[in-house]
Chains A and B, each alone.
Chain A
Amino acid sequence: MIDLKNLTIEKAHKSLKSGEFTCRELVEAYLKVIKEKNGELNAYLEVYKNVLEQADVAQKKFKDGNATILTGIPFAIKDNILFEGQIASAGSKILENYTATYDATVIKKLKNAGAVIIGRTNMDEFAMGSSTQTSTYGVTKNPHDITRVPGGSSGGSAVAVAADMALVALGTETCGSVREPSAFCGLVGLKPTYGAVSREGIIAMGNSLDQVSPFGKKVEDVEIIFNALSKHDPLDSTSIPDELRDFKIKKQNSKRIGVPWHLFKEGVEDEVLENFKQSTEKLKDSGYEILDIELPYSKYSLAVYYIIMPAEVSTNLSRFDGIRYGFSIKGENLLEVYKKSRAQGFGKEARRRILLGTYVLSHGYYDAYYNKAVKVREKIRKEIMQTFEKVEFILTPTAPILPFKLGEKLDNPVAMYLCDIFSAPANLSGVPSIALPSGMSKDGLPFSLQFMASHFQENTLFDIGKKFETIR
């Protein structure tokens, strides 16, 4: 029996290398758990048919002596990441039959490394949501309490890792879609610097915000995946050239953590705040300096996000028109084909955001909404960058609340959006942020906190994350 609960990439690699178990045996152990649990949890939408062949390819790498750290490591991937020849539906009916025509850059990298991609995981439709309840393919349940949501939008990937149905997973973030489910499922989730990991082959939601983001049980796993994926990609015009990624770390500030206490005055559950305060005390005891910081513009992050993101969504999703991607509803004329296909192919939340985006970009409202939001975003970015001249990290709870009950917040969009109130500053300013488990509530639900650091300072996030794992 392989101890999946405590398995890490490093441990698996050692065992695969020494022959303690084979790539096939490892993936079969996960397939067994999937068989037992996926019916109830609905983390995977599909387990790929070629999983065992992938494991054999990986095994050959070990035999031939060209295995690397990710060879044979079982991954789950979110349903919006293209894997050639496999369906990628983004949790939407409009893409139910869409088969990817090429590999996303991140998939190419995983394939080259010999990773084993088990299957695609459930998600909020087009990554729009914070609870994995808006997927056309049903809700995903939280393994800590199946009456509760796993967070979202990458809830399927989070649950796959949390319930030992994959060793690690990839999700995507536009605003907290990996950090918030990491929080709700007790995992580590990293939102990399914008432009660090290629977006080529990712079904876009908000192009100026999206990043592929890894899940793991431990910081070291997330670090290994990030290092494997963080490379310049000429196919993504927003990918940052490798030579621009090396910033000198200001060592003298490395123990300074800024906490914007004024942002938690309201809307944060008591238990969450209490856990957060305890965590800051533990950090203090370990020699970190906790400073009170003010982020007056970041207070508007979520409002800015809910203008910029729908604007980008309405543009991105215009390509799904019943003409090119499989799903199509017949009509009298072309316009009717568009309207009927989009009406029946998109769910409620996707339609809501498309219409909202159309509104904020429309004549007469563009300046008041979109243009203003772009300017406030710039203010937020500057404010965050100036803060990192004074402190090495910004620390907040990952989410203001604990995992909520299935069915909750679906009829109140703003209440749902508020789950990501602390996520928005990192996505809007492009800085990296890591979510870390910080204990369990009295009802057995995970707490989480998140650190942000300056652009391309992922290494400092991994360092403090590993430190926090020892003191939490």
Chain B
Amino acid sequence: MNIKDVENLAELARIELTEEEKKEILSDMESILGYVKQIEEVKVEDVEANNEPYNVWREDVLEPRDFSPQLIKEQFPDSQDDFLKVKKIL
């Protein structure tokens, strides 16, 4: 892993990093990945493929919920006429 990789990850994760922070992250990542790499030595050929997490669905029916619309709106940093306001996308 190098600084370019860290920059790429930060871009994907939408986090701005200073040059200093990038260096620190790089060194942290190297030590953490160095630790977790030990799983390479585990043999897992006989594990069935169906052990991955799966979705639990429910019917799309209208049910009363006790959310407070007023409280939700109050959490928006910016809003207009009861709508969440964001910077233009296109």
For the complex, is B75 an interface residue (Cβ under 8 Å from A)? yes
Shortest distance between the CB of B18 and any CB in chain A (Å) = 9
Specify which chain A residues have a CB less than 8 angstroms from the CB of B81 in the assembled complex.
none
For the complex, is A68 an interface residue (Cβ under 8 Å from B)? no
- Given that A101-B72, A354-B13, A358-B12 are known contacts, is A375 also in contact with B44, CB under 8 Å in the complex? yes
Specify which chain B residues have a CB less than 8 angstroms from the CB of A337 in the assembled complex.
86-87
Specify which chain A residues have a CB less than 8 angstroms from the CB of B10 in the assembled complex.
355
Is there an interface contact between A372 and B31, defined as CB atoms closer than 8 Å? no
Cβ-closest chain A residue relative to B43:
A379
Q: Which of B29, B44, B88 contacts A359 (CB 8 A)?
A: B29
- Given that A237-B56, A304-B39, A374-B51 are known contacts, is A101 also in contact with B75, CB under 8 Å in the complex? yes
Q: Which of A339, A372, A375 contacts B14 (CB 8 A)?
A: A339
For the complex, is B40 an interface residue (Cβ under 8 Å from A)? yes
Q: Which of A346-373 contact B (CB under 8 A)?
A: 346, 351-352, 354-356, 358-359, 362, 368-369, 372-373
Q: Which of B43-90 contact A (CB under 8 A)?
A: 44, 47-48, 51-53, 55-56, 58, 65-68, 71-72, 74-78, 84, 86-89
Is there an interface contact between B16 and A376, defined as CB atoms closer than 8 Å? no
Specify which chain B residues have a CB less than 8 angstroms from the CB of A417 in the assembled complex.
32, 35
For the complex, is B25 an interface residue (Cβ under 8 Å from A)? yes
Is there an interface contact between B15 and A343, defined as CB atoms closer than 8 Å? yes
Give the most central of A103, A325, A376: most B CB within 10 Å.
A376
Q: Which of B29, B47, B67, B87 contacts A355 (CB 8 A)?
A: B29
Is there an interface contact between A324 and B84, defined as CB atoms closer than 8 Å? yes
Specify which chain A residues have a CB less than 8 angstroms from the CB of B47 in the assembled complex.
375, 378-379
Q: Which of A85, A321, A355 contacts B71 (CB 8 A)?
A: A85
- In the bound assembly, the distance between CA atoms of A307 and B40 in angstroms comes to 12
Give the most central of A327, A359, A372, A414: most B CB within 10 Å.
A359
Specify which chain A residues have a CB less than 8 angstroms from the CB of B58 in the assembled complex.
234, 237
What DSSP secondary structure best describes chain A's contact surface? helix
- Given that A300-B39, A324-B75 are known contacts, is A376 also in contact with B84, CB under 8 Å in the complex? no
- Given that A342-B15, A343-B16 are known contacts, is A414 also in contact with B84, CB under 8 Å in the complex? no
Shortest distance between the CB of A384 and any CB in chain B (Å) = 14
Chain B residues bordering chain A, tally (CB within 8 A): 51
Specify which chain A residues have a CB less than 8 angstroms from the CB of B21 in the assembled complex.
351
Specify which chain B residues have a CB less than 8 angstroms from the CB of A334 in the assembled complex.
86-89
Is there an interface contact between A303 and B35, defined as CB atoms closer than 8 Å? yes
- In the bound assembly, the distance between CA atoms of A322 and B76 in angstroms comes to 9
Specify which chain A residues have a CB less than 8 angstroms from the CB of B51 in the assembled complex.
374-375, 378
Q: Which of A99, A354, A412 contacts B75 (CB 8 A)?
A: A99
- Given that A84-B68, A343-B15 are known contacts, is A307 also in contact with B36, CB under 8 Å in the complex? yes
Is there an interface contact between A99 and B16, defined as CB atoms closer than 8 Å? no
Is there an interface contact between A325 and B75, defined as CB atoms closer than 8 Å? yes
For the complex, is A215 an interface residue (Cβ under 8 Å from B)? no
Specify which chain A residues have a CB less than 8 angstroms from the CB of B9 in the assembled complex.
355, 358-359, 362
Specify which chain B residues have a CB less than 8 angstroms from the CB of A373 in the assembled complex.
36, 39
- In the bound assembly, the distance between CA atoms of A306 and B24 in angstroms comes to 18
Is there an interface contact between A354 and B67, defined as CB atoms closer than 8 Å? no
- In the bound assembly, the distance between CA atoms of A114 and B29 in angstroms comes to 47
Shortest distance between the CB of B63 and any CB in chain A (Å) = 10
For the complex, is A7 an interface residue (Cβ under 8 Å from B)? no
Shortest distance between the CB of B61 and any CB in chain A (Å) = 12
For the complex, is B3 an interface residue (Cβ under 8 Å from A)? no
Q: What are some 13 contacts across the A-B interface (CB < 8 A)?
A: A101-B71, A102-B66, A300-B38, A300-B42, A306-B32, A306-B35, A314-B13, A324-B84, A325-B75, A340-B16, A351-B25, A352-B25, A355-B13
B residues apposed to A, CB below 8 Å: 1, 5-6, 9-10, 12-17, 21, 25, 28-29, 31-40, 42, 44, 47-48, 51-53, 55-56, 58, 65-68, 71-72, 74-78, 84, 86-89
12 further A-B contacts with Cβ under 8 Å, apart from A314-B13, A334-B86, are: A98-B75, A300-B42, A323-B77, A342-B16, A351-B17, A351-B25, A355-B9, A359-B29, A372-B39, A372-B42, A375-B51, A413-B31
